[in-house]
Chain A
Amino acid sequence: MINLTVNGIEIQVSDGTTILQAAAKVGVNIPTLCHIPGKDPKGACRVCLVEVKNARSLVASCAMPVAEGMKVFTSTKKVRDARKMVVELMLSEHDGDCKTCERNNDCELQEIARNLGVEDIRFNGQKAKHIFDASTPALIRDNGKCIKCRRCVTVCNEMQNVGALFPQGRGFDSVIGPAFELNLDTVACVQCGQCAAVCPVGAIYEKSHIEHVWNAIDNPDKYVVVQTAPAIRAALGECFGYEAGTLVTGKMVTALKQIGFDKVFDTNFTADLTIMEEGTEFLVRLKDKLINNSDVSLPQFTSCSPGWINYVEYFYPEMLSNVSSCKSPQQMFGALAKSYFAKKQGVDPKDIIVVSVMPCTAKKFEAERPEMNSSGYQDVDYVLTTRELARMINQAGIEFTTLTDSEMDNPMGVSSGAADIFANTGGVMEAAVRTVYEIVTGSELPTENLHLEPLMGLDGIKTASLLVNGTKPEWSFLEGVELKVAVVHGLGNTAQLIKRIKDGEVFHFVEVMTCPGGCIGGGGQPRFTTNDVRAKRISAIYKEDEGKKLRKSHENPDIIELYSEFLEKPLSHLSHKLLHTKYSHKEVN
């Protein structure tokens, strides 16, 4: 242990702690712009400077480990002046206008400048290179506002293993971006938006669909339905001052009704449906393998996460046959809204507009994929991120915190707890196992609270095995089989797991979520998502699950009705047409 003082407060911390971390322990905040908690410090921005007694110059607290007897001062005049200078220099190159900026009031640079008392910009420097890149469906890059902190480079390379962004050139003229300073659509970007989630300023953000949605709502000829993903309800509240992990499901529904959607539905409904289809597909694969000895690809990978689909299309085309043919819950919803629901409600599908609220930027990309119009129309028309929904609620003048709770509409609003946990890493697998186990054995998954403990939590790669016992006669080929499953989140972890599989490790079923923590940590969620925030959102989701009577997808009465009235059975002809698809190898240039 190491003893030091921060602003005179004595503190003892373990060896290797940085000054920044030590200060946080005693409630002293130091501003940062390039640092990402949990990642190696980059020392790029210099706003975290502090004074250390007897040190020759100010030090970057994010990178400097503590030492015995250190005396740190975080707010002396020298420190304040130096930080102010750093920020003023950044602003002198900054080509942006807060009033009209996407990040106004949600900008780390703006906040730091305000806290440091920067009142005017004394230097009027040459502005940063202005590249405005709207080439992809999900993201906007605006280099004029980039402060070159490189957070996006860190997440895109180290966390996601994609490497779409890297500093190009050097010095003042350098640009943080794709190869040769070209647009994002020239490289293999998976559209996950993790870059946009960590960018401290308005230099990368989602392509907004807000105007389109308002226009649809204002158009009397359109029937506008909205679906909300499982992860929204555990995070939206953060935009209105609630503590991370506060469930706001009921308020969210009320807000959506007040905004003017004709029906407020739940993506959870099609999450349950996904379990029916994907679980059945899994059993068919097992049967083909174990009984017919045919050449089916195992493990089966989940397919709900569109960033992962892009990743496998770009980087692992040879694994495409392992990916479940199920569309994601968002797309299943769109296809059914414009077929099943249209028929039930007596609305012409051409007049239906499907809006999704998603924690994810890649969902914007997914909605525009050419595969996604099996209803005869684009199945999902517009996708809003959690942040965009919060903005619409504000635009509509709704005082969110005062809202009472409402219920989702029928017939696509009821869902089980298994659907809730689609929001977090481990959840899709647990939901699938709850159903598959019961189909095969006729009895309930015998674990505590229906949870699969080894698959919970934030470890990057989680594995579990399940011995199948007491099978029903038609599943007797599974008797005594040890089912091995794995769960990964973050594409870097996914690449590692794929390597293990290629090296011979055997799994039957693998859940992949593109973003760290799963959808609750998606690129469209309220900023800033740390592991602490992830854990809080996840525990809220488990609470939602455990609070429901209905915990298993196959028991959802509206799903049962959907099959009896419309789809017939899982993997039926109609299911195949509406709910399944095929992905293919993609190359850039």
Chain B
Amino acid sequence: MDTLKCTECQNEPTEEELYSQLDDLLIEYSQKPGALIPVLQITQRLFGYLPENALKVISKKLSIPYSEVTGVVSFYSFFSTQPRGKFMIRVCLGTACYVRGGKDVLNALKKELNVDVGMTTDDRLFSLDVGRCFGACGLAPVIMVNDDVHQRVKSDRISEILAEYKQNPALKEVV
């Protein structure tokens, strides 16, 4: 599927380019039954998330009611209508982490980033999510930032952790 090449290259495609790729995709899929879920998956890969406008285009071109499209999107947890930040922060709320302050850490993060669970900061740097047990219960509470695991996190030290990523977003992302 060569139409998707751009997502991998250095120069990020413009929105216009993304939408024209979406159009091509929809031409390809418009006659296929059961197209909705594969189209949503590819669209999410293209844009990094599912923007509302893209969902409207999909609804129109596939002749599936908009409410049904958003219904399907909201049914599956792997679809996201929020842009994802460079860094995905996931806070473990498994039992061990929960009792040892996971909830406080989450609240501190919400406050510090000024976002709710499932949302992304305006600068698109951080997204906040929760998880259930990352398998590091002995080191609770645990958070993950992309692939980095931070153990025994204290809620009053959140800003220090975030600072690391803010300082050098490009470098950290490659890790």
Q: Which residues of A contact B (CB under 8 A)?
A: 157, 162-170, 177-180, 187-188, 589
Q: Name 5 interchain pairs, CB-CB below 8 A, sorted by A.
A: A163-B64, A163-B68, A166-B70, A179-B55, A180-B81
Which one, B52, B64, B65, B74, contacts A168 given CB within 8 A? B74
- Are B75 and A170 touching (Cβ within 8 A)? yes
Cα of A177 to Cα of B81 in the assembled complex, Å: 18
Which one, B52, B55, B56, B67, contacts A166 given CB within 8 A? B67
Cα of A280 to Cα of B55 in the assembled complex, Å: 45
Which one, A157, A170, A188, contacts B68 given CB within 8 A? A157
- Are A187 and B75 touching (Cβ within 8 A)? no
- Are B67 and A178 touching (Cβ within 8 A)? yes
Residue B66 interfacial (CB < 8 Å)? yes
Cα of A589 to Cα of B65 in the assembled complex, Å: 14
Interface string of B51-71 (1 = CB under 8 A from A): 010011000000011111111
Cα of A180 to Cα of B75 in the assembled complex, Å: 11
- Are A168 and B71 touching (Cβ within 8 A)? yes
Least Cβ–Cβ distance between A84 and chain B, in angstroms: 30
Shortest Cβ distance from A161 into B: residue: B65
Shortest Cβ distance from B76 into A: residue: A170
Q: Which residues of A contact B70 (CB under 8 A)?
A: 166, 168, 179-180
Shortest Cβ distance from B56 into A: residue: A589
Q: Which residues of B contact A (CB under 8 A)?
A: 52, 55-56, 64-71, 74-75, 81
Least Cβ–Cβ distance between B159 and chain A, in angstroms: 32
- Are A164 and B71 touching (Cβ within 8 A)? no
Cα of A141 to Cα of B67 in the assembled complex, Å: 16
Least Cβ–Cβ distance between A115 and chain B, in angstroms: 33
Q: Which 3 A-B pairs have the closest CB atoms?
A: A163-B65, A166-B71, A179-B70
- Are B75 and A164 touching (Cβ within 8 A)? no
- Give the dominant DSSP class at A's interface: loop
Which one, B55, B75, B81, contacts A167 given CB within 8 A? B75
Cα of A188 to Cα of B66 in the assembled complex, Å: 9
Cα of A166 to Cα of B66 in the assembled complex, Å: 9
Q: Which residues of A contact B75 (CB under 8 A)?
A: 167, 169-170
Cα of A266 to Cα of B70 in the assembled complex, Å: 44
Shortest Cβ distance from A588 into B: residue: B66
Cα of A469 to Cα of B64 in the assembled complex, Å: 46
- Are B74 and A169 touching (Cβ within 8 A)? yes
Extra 4 A-B pairs, beta carbons < 8 Å, given A166-B71, A170-B75, A180-B70: A157-B65, A163-B67, A163-B68, A167-B71
- Are B74 and A163 touching (Cβ within 8 A)? no
Q: Which residues of A contact B56 (CB under 8 A)?
A: 589
Cα of A268 to Cα of B12 in the assembled complex, Å: 64
Shortest Cβ distance from B77 into A: residue: A170
Which one, A170, A187, A589, contacts B67 given CB within 8 A? A187
Q: Which residues of B contact A178 (CB under 8 A)?
A: 67
Q: Which residues of A contact B71 (CB under 8 A)?
A: 166-169, 179
Shortest Cβ distance from B75 into A: residue: A170
- Are B66 and A170 touching (Cβ within 8 A)? no
Least Cβ–Cβ distance between B130 and chain A, in angstroms: 15
Cα of A425 to Cα of B55 in the assembled complex, Å: 37
Least Cβ–Cβ distance between A174 and chain B, in angstroms: 8
- Are A187 and B74 touching (Cβ within 8 A)? no
Q: Which residues of B contact A180 (CB under 8 A)?
A: 52, 70, 74, 81
Cα of A169 to Cα of B67 in the assembled complex, Å: 11
Q: Which residues of A contact B68 (CB under 8 A)?
A: 157, 163, 166
Q: Which residues of A contact B67 (CB under 8 A)?
A: 163-166, 168, 177-179, 187
Cα of A497 to Cα of B52 in the assembled complex, Å: 32
Cα of A180 to Cα of B65 in the assembled complex, Å: 13
Q: Which residues of A contact B65 (CB under 8 A)?
A: 157, 162-164, 166, 187
Q: Which residues of B contact A177 (CB under 8 A)?
A: 67
Least Cβ–Cβ distance between A480 and chain B, in angstroms: 41
Least Cβ–Cβ distance between B164 and chain A, in angstroms: 35
Q: Which residues of B contact A157 (CB under 8 A)?
A: 65, 68
Least Cβ–Cβ distance between A203 and chain B, in angstroms: 16
Least Cβ–Cβ distance between B50 and chain A, in angstroms: 11
Q: Which residues of B contact A169 (CB under 8 A)?
A: 71, 74-75
Cα of A165 to Cα of B67 in the assembled complex, Å: 6
Shortest Cβ distance from A169 into B: residue: B74
Shortest Cβ distance from A177 into B: residue: B67
Cα of A165 to Cα of B71 in the assembled complex, Å: 9
Q: Which residues of A contact B52 (CB under 8 A)?
A: 180
Cα of A187 to Cα of B64 in the assembled complex, Å: 13
Q: Which residues of B contact A179 (CB under 8 A)?
A: 55, 66-67, 69-71
For B56, B66, B67, B70, the residue with the greatest tally of chain A CB atoms inside 10 Å of its CB is B67
Shortest Cβ distance from A171 into B: residue: B75
Shortest Cβ distance from B69 into A: residue: A179
Shortest Cβ distance from B55 into A: residue: A179
Cα of A180 to Cα of B66 in the assembled complex, Å: 9
Cα of A180 to Cα of B71 in the assembled complex, Å: 7
For A177, A180, A187, the residue with the greatest tally of chain B CB atoms inside 10 Å of its CB is A180
Q: Which residues of B contact A187 (CB under 8 A)?
A: 65-67
Cα of A178 to Cα of B66 in the assembled complex, Å: 8
Least Cβ–Cβ distance between A458 and chain B, in angstroms: 26
Cα of A193 to Cα of B67 in the assembled complex, Å: 17
Least Cβ–Cβ distance between A183 and chain B, in angstroms: 12
Cα of A589 to Cα of B68 in the assembled complex, Å: 17
Q: Which residues of B contact A167 (CB under 8 A)?
A: 71, 75
Cα of A163 to Cα of B66 in the assembled complex, Å: 7
Cα of A411 to Cα of B3 in the assembled complex, Å: 70
Q: Which residues of B contact A188 (CB under 8 A)?
A: 66
Shortest Cβ distance from B81 into A: residue: A180
Least Cβ–Cβ distance between B53 and chain A, in angstroms: 9
Least Cβ–Cβ distance between B105 and chain A, in angstroms: 24
Least Cβ–Cβ distance between B60 and chain A, in angstroms: 10
Cα of A261 to Cα of B6 in the assembled complex, Å: 70
Cα of A157 to Cα of B64 in the assembled complex, Å: 10
Least Cβ–Cβ distance between B92 and chain A, in angstroms: 21
Cα of A274 to Cα of B96 in the assembled complex, Å: 74
For B65, B68, B69, B71, the residue with the greatest tally of chain A CB atoms inside 10 Å of its CB is B71
Least Cβ–Cβ distance between B85 and chain A, in angstroms: 21
